Structure 1
């Protein structure tokens, strides 16, 4: 699921990354296509349409149709790697359990409400998305159907006959995208590996961008459906929504071009006194970029509370990194090893901005509360709105005691923050 709003942030900051690919157009030649199958399964079983009522047979047929459409669009020349999520790593297992427990409880509450009204539950709406979990009977049946479908297409369809097809089912441990990355790393270790292979991965998760970057492959792109962004006030980025889970139009998100953007942007930092030739190594910068993106959002670690992409958190991190890089004495990471002293320099600078970020949030909250009171008809006197807001925020507007404000201010309430994260998780889970 990855980083909320990250894809939109990248698309706005580097506007040429997305290349439109209609189903009727020929995309660039691709050697290897990797499919994160859980995104396809979610879209074809329930997607974002609450009124969609499908039987299991119809769901399986939709998955077959969608899968074949992706192959026909890309026409991979050497490899198709299909990966379904297996058992997740322990670091993510607790998060998955909590999310699925909440989903099941909400489903039970909805069904109880329907029964209380004396209505019958439509069997067509009885599909539970929690079935899309390793080890369930639904996933076992789906795995058998997919194996049959792949064998038949390889026997009958010339487009499927050209590449090798590898299917990694839910029985194989690990998330789909990590199984794909493990295979790519294994490929690169083989003798005679061609360095200029063209890779394409399908999936909507923002963390696929991170995983694609750390492969350091020069020719890599992500295949995604066309997404629509809903506007919000004050020009802030909003969560992405899937426009149509069975869309005819797709986009290729060009990871190779993103690396070139980095080369241009970070090349403007100037001479690095500690670097060979004084030049920035874009490969090392890519690794550092992935590291501090983990501070903004991660499936395995809690994000920093004041680092929100919508509030310009990632922009601040990049600016601080570029300013500090000449004095750091080296990069933040080295072949996967973290240099704690250099990261500490960056985090200390980040800590100095926390109070300003909290103050901005306090002012936004106070402005919103004032506006809400005015809309309510100015009860209790028009002039008392500001003071009433201050009282309701427990002094949060002036932020006299940061610790107290953090506890009393609704915007910084940990439970409120968790609720907001849950909403975004649900949106991204629907888009998978």
Structure 2
């Protein structure tokens, strides 16, 4: 679930939140979480508006593997690497997803017809149908098997992967990827001996990850995402080497919110100024 224009609003209101990712200048993180559906969509159909674009399933899976490897080596988590793919969505979101799939199929058909009317010769191969990126499809089953193979291969041969706990939550596990990640963070926090100074890094494209990250009340939490270029003509790229990445530090945003609501401290006569409750209320107001 995204929140339209929210990331742009936050970036303009608090311009110091985002830090450009530079090699050898990345903070150390204990846990890295990937919301995988953003990577899958980016690698499978990076150019939606081009009816001539074709890509094979083998190339899609190779690009996904490469993207995962680049993100892992960029952050280098010390303790945990969690990959979450969207499972069956809650009932409240199914109608939205259904409408989105019908709309994408209709747009693809419209683009093909317009290209034929212009006299263009389209490739004989069928276009990749992005609607198959949904729980229960044959494509997702094959992708999940390939991801399990990747995990086994990396744990066997890569020393960086061997020092982490690797978790792959596939499409057969219900719930959206970001919510499965948040459930796991809440589970870790409930365990005895949990280190409250654990440093978390979450990769994802949805702006609601800002709110979900704040709601964890973790003091060290950052979001990793690609540079956002606003405008209809902006294009995505599935090549991570050509992508500019930013870290959005939610720990700094907590300080911004505390300063912004500090004038309430004098007005709350007889009540405690609790930053954690203020953050929860702020998130509720943003989503109403």
TM-score, L = length of structure 1: 0.62
Distance between the aligned counterparts of 1:228 and 1:107, measured in 2? 23
Which residue of structure 2 aligns with residue 143 of structure 1?
144
Shift of 1:248: 4.1
> Within the alignment, does 1:219 sit opposite 2:220 as a pair?
yes
Between Structure 1 and Structure 2, which shows a larger proportion of helix residues? 1
Secondary structure of 2:225's aligned partner: strand
Alignment of 1:18-417 (within 5 A): 18-22=18-22, 24-48=23-47, 50-51=49-50, 52-112=53-113, 121-124=122-125, 126-230=127-231, 244-245=237-238, 246=240, 247-271=242-266, 272-276=268-272, 280-295=273-288
Secondary structure of 2:152's aligned partner: helix
Change (3 A) 1:143 1:123: farther
Secondary structure of 2:261's aligned partner: helix
Does 1 or 2 have the higher relative contact order (CA < 8 Å, sep 6+)? 2
Confirm or deny: 8 A CA contact 1:31 1:198 kept in the other structure: yes
Query: What per-residue deviation string (whole Å, max 9, x for no partner) do you get for residues 135-159 of structure 1?
Result: 1111111111111111111111111
Which residue of structure 1 aligns with residue 16 of structure 2?
16
Shift of 1:257: 0.6
Change (3 A) 1:123 1:255: farther
Which residue of structure 2 aligns with residue 365 of structure 1?
none
Confirm or deny: 8 A CA contact 1:54 1:125 kept in the other structure: no
Aligned length: 283
Secondary structure of 1:60's aligned partner: helix
Change (3 A) 1:182 1:102: same
Distance between the aligned counterparts of 2:32 and 2:208, measured in 1? 17
Distance between the aligned counterparts of 2:277 and 2:7, measured in 1? 22
Shift of 1:198: 0.3
Distance between the aligned counterparts of 1:106 and 1:40, measured in 2? 22
Secondary structure of 2:83's aligned partner: strand
Change (3 A) 1:84 1:12: same
Confirm or deny: 8 A CA contact 1:76 1:163 kept in the other structure: yes
Report which of the two structures shows the higher radius of gyration computed on alpha carbons: 1
Shift of 1:12: 1.1
Shift of 1:131: 1.1
Change (3 A) 1:163 1:253: same
Distance between the aligned counterparts of 2:262 and 2:75, measured in 1? 34
Shift of 1:98: 1.0
Distance between the aligned counterparts of 2:135 and 2:249, measured in 1? 31
Distance between the aligned counterparts of 1:240 and 1:14, measured in 2? 25
Secondary structure of 1:197's aligned partner: coil
Distance between the aligned counterparts of 1:260 and 1:212, measured in 2? 14
Confirm or deny: 8 A CA contact 2:42 2:236 kept in the other structure: no
TM-score, L = length of structure 2: 0.91
Distance between the aligned counterparts of 1:75 and 1:32, measured in 2? 9
Confirm or deny: 8 A CA contact 1:84 1:176 kept in the other structure: yes
Distance between the aligned counterparts of 1:27 and 1:242, measured in 2? 26
Which residue of structure 2 aligns with residue 3 of structure 1?
3
Change (3 A) 1:195 1:83: same
Confirm or deny: 8 A CA contact 1:26 1:73 kept in the other structure: no
Distance between the aligned counterparts of 1:104 and 1:243, measured in 2? 20
Secondary structure of 1:33's aligned partner: strand
